[in-house]
Amino acid sequence: MAGIRLLHCVLLVTFSFIQVGSMNGYTSNIGMKQDQVNPNYGQGGFGQQQEQQRPMFRPQLQSQTSQGSNYGGSRFLDQSRSQIGSTFQRKMMFDQQQRKHSSKLATICIFHVKIVLVVAGMVEPNIKFLEDIKGSVNEISLEEKLANMSSNYVFDFKNAQVGVSTGNGGRVVSANARNFPILINHKIAMTVGFLEPCGMNLPHVHPRATEINYAAKGDFQTGFFQENGGKFVGHIVREGQVSVFPQGAIHFEQNMGCETAMFVAAFDHEDPGTLTIADGFFSLPTDILAASLGGISEDDVMRLGSNLPKNAGFGTEECLIRCGLKPQQDRNIDVRQPVNNYEQY
C-alpha cells in the first residue's frame, strides 16, 4: 500500500508538470500576440512585420495624420500599450493560478509522502495527529482516523528508522504509541533487541509498564531490582523461555553467548517509557551527584559521565574474555566459575 501511495504522489507531480507546461504554452502564445501587436515597441518603430501584416494601415494613418485627424500615430501607440497591458495582466493572472495549483499539488504530495514514511517506520507522526487519535471515542473512530494509513497494523522491526537505539553491543527497536499509532488506546507495546555477542540492553526502567521478555534466539543473563528493601532477582533465561520485570523495576538483558541473539519484550501499556539508569543518574546536577557518590570530586563525576556507553552496550568482562572480544587482564578472571549468584552458563 505504501508503494501505491508513492505512485499516487508521482502521478500528482507529473500532472502538476503537465498543467504547468500547458499554462506556460498558453502564456507563450500570449507573448507571441504581444510581438505581433508591436514587435519593436520601445525601440523607436513599428518594424517590418507590422508593415507586412497591416499593408493598408500606414497609408491610412499618414492620410489621417496629414488631415489633422485625431486618429494619429499617438492614438495607435495608446491602443498598443492598452492591449499589451491587458495581455500582461492576463499573463500575471495565469502565473498566479499556476503557482496556486502547483502549491496545492505539492501539499497533497507531501501529505502522502509523510503517510508512507510513518507507515514504513521512517519518521514519527505529528504530535497533534497522535493526540487526535488518543481522543477517539471508540475503535471505529480510531480506525477512521487511520484510514489513510492502511498498513498501520504492521511494524517492521528490522528496517525501522525511529524508535531505534544503537550502540556497540547491538540495536534495540521499540514500537509504541509515539511511532506506531495503532497502539494508542490498546494498552500494548513491544521492543525487539538484536544483541551482538556479549551485548547488553543496559540497566533501565519502564515507569508505566510491566514487561514480559521472550528469549527468541540465544541465552540471556537477566535480572531486576524493584525497590529499597527488596532483593536483586537474577536468572539465566534460555532460548524459548521468558522472564518478567515488574513495572518500575531496574532491569537488564545481556546476551551470554558468542553469537548474535534476539529477545522480544511485550508491555501492558502503549507508552511504557524508558529511562536508562546511568543516563538518568548523570543528568542530575554535578554537585548532587558528587554528594550522592560519597563526596567524590565533581571532576571525577564529569569524567565518569563522559564515558557512558550508548544502548545497547557491551556486557560483562567475563563474557567478553570468554568470547575472545577482550584480552584477559593480569587480575585473572576465571571464566569457568559462575557469574555472581547465577547458575553457571
pLDDT of residue 45: 43
- The verdict on whether omega for the bond into residue 209 sits within 30 degrees of 0, i.e. cis, is no
Closest CA to 315 of 170, 166, 173, 163: 170
Q: Could you tell me which residues come within 8 angstroms of residue 26 by beta carbon, excluding any fewer than 6 positions away?
A: 94
Place 79 in a pLDDT band, splitting at 50, 70 and 90. Answer: low
Q: What is the pLDDT of residues 164-210, one digit of tens each?
A: 999 999 999 999 998 998 898 889 999 999 999 999 999 999 999 99
Top-confidence residue, 74 or 36: 74
- Residues 315-323: what's their mean pLDDT? 95
Q: Could you tell me which residues come within 8 angstroms of residue 174 by beta carbon, excluding any fewer than 6 positions away?
A: 163, 164, 165, 189, 190, 191, 274
For the chain, which residues make up each domain, given as ranges? 2-119, 128-345
Contact 69, 58 (CB under 8 A): no
Contact 263, 312 (CB under 8 A): no
Q: What is the pLDDT of residues 228-287, one digit of tens each?
A: 999 999 999 999 999 999 999 999 999 999 999 999 999 999 999 999 999 999 999 999
Place 306 in a pLDDT band, splitting at 50, 70 and 90. Answer: very high
Q: What is the pLDDT of residues 288-304, one digit of tens each?
A: 999 999 999 999 999 99
Entry pTM:
0.62
Q: What is the second-level CATH architecture of the domain 128-345?
A: Sandwich (2.60)
